[in-house]
A and B are shown apart, each in its own frame.
Chain A
Amino acid sequence: MLPFRDTFFMIQNKWIFYLISGLVVAFVVLVFFYYVATWKKALSGKTNTNKRPNIRSLFIAIKNVFLGIRIFKDDILAGIMHFLIFWGFFALLIGTILLSIHEHIVKFLMGNIYIVFSVIMEIAGLFLISGTVIAIFRRYILKVKRLQSYTEDLLIPLFLILIVSSGFLLEALRIAQNPQRWEKWSFVGWYLKELFGPGVSEGAYPYIWWFHAILSLSFLLFIPLTKLAHTILAPTSIYLQNLPKEDGDKAQMEEEDSASEGSDKEAQLPQRPFLTLSHLIFLDACMRCGRCVEVCPSTLAGEDYAPRDFVQGLRAWVWQSFSSHGDPRLFTERSPDKMQRIWNCTTCRACLEVCPVYGPTFELVMGERTLAIEEGTSVPDLLNQTLERLYKYENPWMSSKKEKLGWIEEGSSIGFITKSFKPEFCYFVGCTTSVDPRARGIAKAFSNILRSSGLEFGIFGEKEPCCGDMAKRVGELGLFEEKKMSCSDLFQSYGVKNVVTSSPHCYFNFKNEYPQGMFNVFHYTQLIHKLIKERNLTIKKRLDFTVTYHDPCYLGRHSRIFNEPREIIRSIPGIKLIEMTHNRENSLCCGGGGGRMWQGNELNGTERMSERRAKEAKETGADVVLTACPLCLIMMEDAIKTLGYEKNLKVMDINELLKMAIDEEKR
């Protein structure tokens, strides 16, 4: 006899099962429609940005769903847990569907196919149960810090354990009544069957069958009502978040413009014009895993902020404001309070780097800031003053335009770009590098390096506007647009083709927030790297230092420039580069970005972000901590002073170190 099994063994009225299944599926679909309806309302009046389907992001989504790449990252146990649950659940779901096909459409689960099927189902059941046990173990016994414990966090794993065990039980009862030889491939049931005599199994079987069936179906009901919604929403979020970027600001500014023109339109406008569909899906896909909390420099420094809490607060607000029948989630954060904490984030992007659903929390924070800036009353005083200064004096510091020349050393011949002097490269010094006494070292060193390379370059000096980065990060989009215009106009009127910046912030801004293709932009590390490779720079001196390198957020994570700085450092003979615990895309923010440089101390927690980073640098035992950003340079310098590390640890910009190595004279 061919191995097979009777799908509805001993079960009457199977139509009831199909009826309930139908109802459950209908309910799940309906609730997801309710999600969509709510998102639509939150987006009302907004032109949906037309994003084209994209293979790369589809690939990322598939990779993440099936392999759980991001979940394995830095937490193997979590990765194993999710892998087991995902594959167990997925296989059992497919298996159940296959059984129905076998029953009603084509009979194919017979013979060897049936045996393979049985084995896979056994393994899937074991996967699911062990994954779930690990989940409970991590949350309640290991007490992994980043995990919260809401009711659903216990309910869901218990439910799963119950479903799988009742499934195995059922199998054992079935086999006990008719122990065919091939059933030993259903090995769990095969072993368990010993527990029951045929009499017991016959009586109990239908009851257990219905129990298992109803339990499984009601589990499906929970999908849209709990964090399990991520089973559908996470893949969607991952796909959407990885689509090529659209110019969101421009859309928002246009929205606001048209809103201020007609008051009828205003009524229909969403109150959060920065929210896009992908943001909304991300908010609902977030399953509170807390990975973002673990890497957020603000949370780590003991500040009263955590990206997850912000996300959950904003999510609560969306459902409170736009849903017609309330929040479908049974166990969740209902208070939007935590979304008020909008000034802590440094926009360092560390959260996005680890978020399993690729949630750009900082984008949402920046969105909230645009509202606060427009509203005006909750803008912190210091920020208020800084923005005024940025508008009046083209820099966020207490400096005049005149002071932008202060870094130029006497006797050094730096060319100013004019109508008749149009060098190959425009060196965009940047506000901070121009005026801050410490950061000026970058400009001094870099201009010297450029000169020794023979590359033709010039600066705009007093005429150089602010690139607008700071305005953009704190949500002052109007001011940012003005700055963008000043820069673009200036570059255009002098025919600037290549721009090289000191600051990763200017670089990122020019590269990503300015009209594309107007000019080429380089960060100095890229240009120097090129100059060294093409042998236009000769390194003359050996420097016997041990150094470590701090990746600036806007150079590393945001611009993916990790190797050039390291290669420049390694090209200096004698230098030994050691990495800090957090390096490359896992680098830890110094706390200077996102406008935090100009925020007061009220936001500070138990420790400064920069001090955490400085401590890490110290632990490497390096003599010098190198960086490639004026803000990092200032922050790290301060931290090292306040911590009293000055004697053993110096902070330098890569330029400053390189200049030492190419200088002829003894230092």
Chain B
Amino acid sequence: MKELKIIVCAKQIPDPEAPFSAVTVDSKKKEVKVDAPEVISPYDENALEAALRIKESSKAFITVLSVGSSLSDTVLRKAIAAGADQLVMVEDDSFGRLDSYSTAYVLSKAISMLGEYDLILTGRQAGDWDWGQVGLILGEILGLPTINMAAGITVRDGHVEVSRLVPAGLELVEAKMPALVTVSNEVGELRYVSRSKILGMLKKRIPIKKVSKGDLNLEPEFLNTMELLELLPPSDMRRDCVIVEGATGKEKAERLFEIIKQIL
């Protein structure tokens, strides 16, 4: 059987699941800071998991591709430790605030540079801005059959079969490969990657390809950065827990009602 070439696009972001108190919003610099290491966007992790599951049943070579600024290989190595075969980091200071189209454009250039592929997987949306555009635009640029919101993916004789989330449930669609699929969390969480595996990766020489802006022959007119007009923290980020006491259910409910009235 031919080896499947799978590309998983992964974005590095501040932890979207961070506890509230670890997040600071810097309105001046227009930045959100999290007091913790950055992570791979959760839906992209789901996409990686989907790829790894395909690899479990058929021969596959998984490339994890990331575009951004100040990418950290300690974060992205997790993908290799999880079982991906190659890491490609496309990095430039100007890539920090690319808009969706431009990000998809850079990704498409990098993918063309990588050569042949059968399947491209992306998360359904990024965990920071939640726009959900890059995957679909990328499919468009590459001229690929594109299926979004995958809850399950199987690959069979040159086709990819996707059970896709629709409001009423799931629908089963099939496309000829090469194809692009954007993946939702229903596919399953990324398998646990132990610290010793990740640390082991630091000791080993692992296949990381670093690509710079210059390598990709990018047309400047397609590189648009978005401009943030304003970034404001929610007015009050405090949270508190009050246990409403009372002798009877009714009493508790009445007190709860009072408290809610006060807040509103």
Q: Which residues of A contact B (CB under 8 A)?
A: 253, 256-257, 260, 373-374, 376-377, 379, 381, 383-385, 387, 391-393, 398-403, 437, 476-479, 481-482
Contacts and interface: CB of A to CB of B under 8 A. Distances in A.
Contacts of B37: 392
A478 B22 contact: no
Nearest to A397: B19
Nearest to A479: B195
Nearest to B21: A400
Interface residues of B, number: 26
B231 interface: no
Contact of A392 (B15, B189, B193): B15
B36 interface: yes
Contacts of B210: none
A377 B191 contact: yes
Contact of A478 (B35, B36, B39, B194): B194
Contacts of B244: none
Contact of A374 (B18, B197, B199, B241): B197
A400 B36 CA distance: 9
Interface string B1-45: 000000000000001011111100000000000011101000000
Contacts of B82: 376
Contacts of B129: none
Contacts of B18: 392-393, 400
B19 A393 contact: yes
Given A392-B15, A393-B36, A400-B35, A376 B189 contact: no
A393 B26 CA distance: 20
B200 interface: yes
Contact of A384 (B35, B192, B198): B192
B195 A482 contact: yes
Contacts of B21: 399-400, 402-403
A202 B212 CA distance: 104
A460 to B, nearest CB: 16
B186 to A, nearest CB: 12
Most buried by A among B21, B192, B193, B204: B192
Contacts of B36: 392-393, 400
A478 B192 contact: no
Nearest to A395: B19
Contacts of B191: 376-377, 379, 384
Given A260-B200, A392-B37, A437-B241, A398 B19 contact: yes
Nearest to A435: B19
B196 A400 contact: no
B195 A402 contact: no
21 contacts: A257-B200, A260-B204, A374-B196, A374-B197, A376-B82, A376-B192, A377-B191, A379-B191, A391-B195, A392-B36, A392-B39, A393-B36, A400-B19, A400-B35, A401-B22, A476-B195, A477-B196, A478-B194, A478-B196, A478-B197, A478-B198
Contacts of A403: 19, 21
B19 A399 contact: yes
Contacts of B197: 374, 376, 478
Given A392-B36, A400-B35, A478 B19 contact: no
Contact of B194 (A257, A374, A385, A402): A374
Contacts of B20: 400
Contacts of A400: 18-22, 35-36
Contacts, number: 72
A381 B189 contact: yes
A19 to B, nearest CB: 58
B127 to A, nearest CB: 13
A374 B197 CA distance: 7
Given A253-B196, A400-B20, 4 more contacts: A376-B192, A402-B21, A481-B195, A482-B195
A303 to B, nearest CB: 22
Given A260-B200, A376-B82, A392-B15, A401 B35 contact: yes
B43 to A, nearest CB: 15
Contact of A379 (B35, B192, B200): B192
Interface in B183-209: 189, 191-200, 203-204
Most buried by A among B18, B20, B194, B198: B194
A385 B204 CA distance: 26
A479 B192 contact: no
Contacts of B196: 253, 256, 374, 477-478, 481
A383 B192 CA distance: 9
Nearest to A379: B192
A478 B195 contact: yes
Contacts of A253: 196
B194 A376 contact: yes
A650 B199 CA distance: 46
Nearest to B23: A400
Given A260-B200, A392-B36, A387 B19 contact: no
Contacts of A476: 194-195
A385 B191 CA distance: 10
B99 to A, nearest CB: 29
A208 B59 CA distance: 70
A236 B239 CA distance: 57
A499 B192 CA distance: 33
B194 A384 contact: no
B22 A402 contact: yes
Contacts of B198: 478
Contact of B193 (A257, A376, A385, A481): A376
B22 to A, nearest CB: 3
A26 B203 CA distance: 52
Given A402-B21, A478-B197, A373 B192 contact: yes
Most buried by B among A257, A373, A374, A392: A392
A392 B199 CA distance: 15
A257 B200 CA distance: 8
B241 A478 contact: no
Contacts of A385: 17, 189
A201 B20 CA distance: 93
A155 B199 CA distance: 54
Most buried by A among B18, B22, B204: B22
A400 B196 CA distance: 24
Nearest to A381: B189
Contact of B189 (A384, A402, A437): A384
Nearest to B242: A437
Most buried by A among B21, B35, B203: B21
A302 to B, nearest CB: 28
B58 to A, nearest CB: 17
Most buried by B among A376, A387, A403, A481: A376
B146 to A, nearest CB: 28
